[in-house]
């Protein structure tokens, strides 16, 4: 409730309070990134390559976004207690989608590493859904 | 609108009102006035699918909802982010808690 006696926090967040989360969102975008890297390797057309770079950066940003939503909104303190590696996993995964990873580079191995990290997060996510 | 008219302070969390308001901004809000189309407002979002109460949020009220008298259309300023009436439908008047008067403080940096 809004009160004149304190500062109330008001949300300007990106997520619906619908409680629907799924690491598959991040995975699909990461698969797009991997596919784009493969297509660029087979194509010398400069226009195509520029378009591919732009899309690759956008998709990489979406991977980071979906991972951040899981990290900050889905996973709760008890999860981080039970899975102490979670913070590091998210940190590494978002870095792999960033400027030093698929966003900034054209390295298929980085895309594979990113997918593997997302799968590790997805495995923990699945366990929390069973509990 | 809920509550008697009063001036209150709120702090913005998130990015859905960029570029107008940033994370950490403190806003002066008139609680309990009538909605002012075009201005930012503090609203109570509809409940989640699990029945949990919706959060208080800062949104722009663009105007009366088409075909729904007494309801208001809300939008985020950041087109890329934020729950809007396109997602959750128009808001009943009772969900509009206050009108944003303006920015009173922005974090340094």
State the Cα–Cα distance between residues A16 and A20, nearest whole angstrom.
Answer: 8
Is the pLDDT reported for residue A32 higher than 90?
yes
Note whether B45 contacts A13, CB cutoff 8 Å: no
The alpha-carbon gap from B38 to the nearest alpha carbon of chain A, in Å, equals 17
Residue A110: the pLDDT is: 95
Task: Give the residue, B89 or B49, on which the prediction is more confident.
Answer: B89
Band the pLDDT of A129: cuts 50, 70, 90: confident
Residue A125: the pLDDT is: 94
Read off the pLDDT of each residue in A19-35 and give the average, rounded to a whole number.
Answer: 90
Is the pLDDT reported for residue B49 higher than 70?
no
B78: three-class secondary structure by DSSP: coil
Q: Work out how many domains chain A is built from and give that number.
A: 1
Task: Judge whether A107 lies within some domain.
Answer: yes
State the Cα–Cα distance between residues A120 and B82, nearest whole angstrom.
Answer: 28
Residue B1: the pLDDT is: 47
Residue A72 sits in a domain whose CATH number is 1.20.120.400
CATH for the stretch B6-105? 2.10.109.10
Cβ atoms of A32 and A74 closer than 8 Å = no
**Which of the residues A2, A68, A69 would you substitute to probe the B interface, choosing the one with the greatest number of B C-beta atoms within 10 Å?**
A2
Q: B24: alpha, beta or left, given left = phi > 0 and alpha = psi -120 to 50?
A: left
Residue A2: the pLDDT is: 87
Residue B9 token pair:
């302070």
Read off the pLDDT of each residue in A41-65 and give the average, rounded to a whole number.
Answer: 93
Is the pLDDT reported for residue A89 higher than 50?
yes
Residue in the block written with tokens 């007494």? B70
Residue A131: the pLDDT is: 61
Task: Judge whether A5 lies within some domain.
Answer: no
Mean pLDDT, all residues of chain A: 90
Band the pLDDT of A16: cuts 50, 70, 90: low
ipTM > 0.85, yes or no: no
Is the pLDDT reported for residue A117 higher than 50?
yes
Band the pLDDT of A67: cuts 50, 70, 90: very high
Q: Give the burial class of B21: count Cβ atoms within 10 A of its Cβ; 0-12 exposed, 13-18 middle, 19 or more buried.
A: buried
Note whether B13 contacts A1, CB cutoff 8 Å: no
Q: Which of A114, A128, A90, A89 is nearest to A36 (CA)?
A: A114
Residue in the block written with tokens 């409680």? A19
* Helix or strand holding residue B40 (H, E): strand B40-44
Q: Which of B65, B76, B90 is nearest to B40 (CA)?
A: B76
Task: Judge whether A45 lies within some domain.
Answer: yes
Task: Judge whether A29 lies within some domain.
Answer: yes
- Domain range for A92 is 24-130
Band the pLDDT of A73: cuts 50, 70, 90: confident
Residue B37: the pLDDT is: 95
> Which chain A residue lies closest to B77 (C-alpha atoms)?
A12
Task: Judge whether A17 lies within some domain.
Answer: no
Which chain B residues are closer than 8 Å to A20 by Cβ?
Answer: 49
Residue A26 token pair:
């991040």
Give the tens place of pLDDT for each residue, B59-109.
Answer: 999 999 988 878 999 998 988 778 888 878 899 999 999 999 999 999 987
Band the pLDDT of A76: cuts 50, 70, 90: confident
Note whether B50 contacts A10, CB cutoff 8 Å: no
Task: Judge whether A63 lies within some domain.
Answer: yes
Residue B15: the pLDDT is: 86
Cβ atoms of B100 and B39 closer than 8 Å = yes
């Amino acid at each position: 409730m809004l009160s004149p006696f304190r500062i109330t926090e008001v949300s300007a967040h990106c997520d619906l309070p619908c409680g629907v989360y799924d690491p598959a969102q991040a995975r699909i975008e990461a698969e797009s990134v991997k596919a784009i890297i493969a297509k660029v390797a087979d194509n010398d057309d400069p226009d195509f390559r520029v378009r591919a770079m732009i899309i690759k950066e956008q998709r990489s940003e979406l991977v980071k976004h979906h991972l951040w939503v899981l990290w900050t909104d889905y996973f709760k303190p008890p999860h981080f207690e039970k899975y102490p590696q979670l913070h590091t996993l998210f940190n590494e995964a978002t870095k792999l989608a960033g400027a030093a990873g698929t966003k900034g580079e054209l390295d298929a191995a980085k895309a594979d590493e990113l997918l593997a990290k997302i799968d590790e997060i997805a495995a923990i996510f699945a366990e929390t859904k069973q509990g | 609108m809920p509550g008697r008219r009063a001036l209150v302070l709120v702090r913005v969390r998130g990015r859905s009102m960029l570029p107008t308001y940033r994370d950490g901004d403190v806003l002066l809000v008139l609680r309990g006035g009538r909605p002012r189309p075009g201005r930012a407002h503090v609203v109570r979002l509809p409940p989640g699918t699990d029945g949990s109460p919706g959060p208080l949020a800062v949104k722009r009220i663009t105007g009366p909802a088409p075909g729904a008298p007494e309801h208001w259309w809300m939008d985020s300023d950041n087109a890329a982010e934020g729950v809007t009436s396109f997602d959750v439908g128009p808001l009943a008047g009772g969900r509009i808690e206050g009108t944003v008067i303006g920015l009173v403080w922005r974090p340094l940096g």
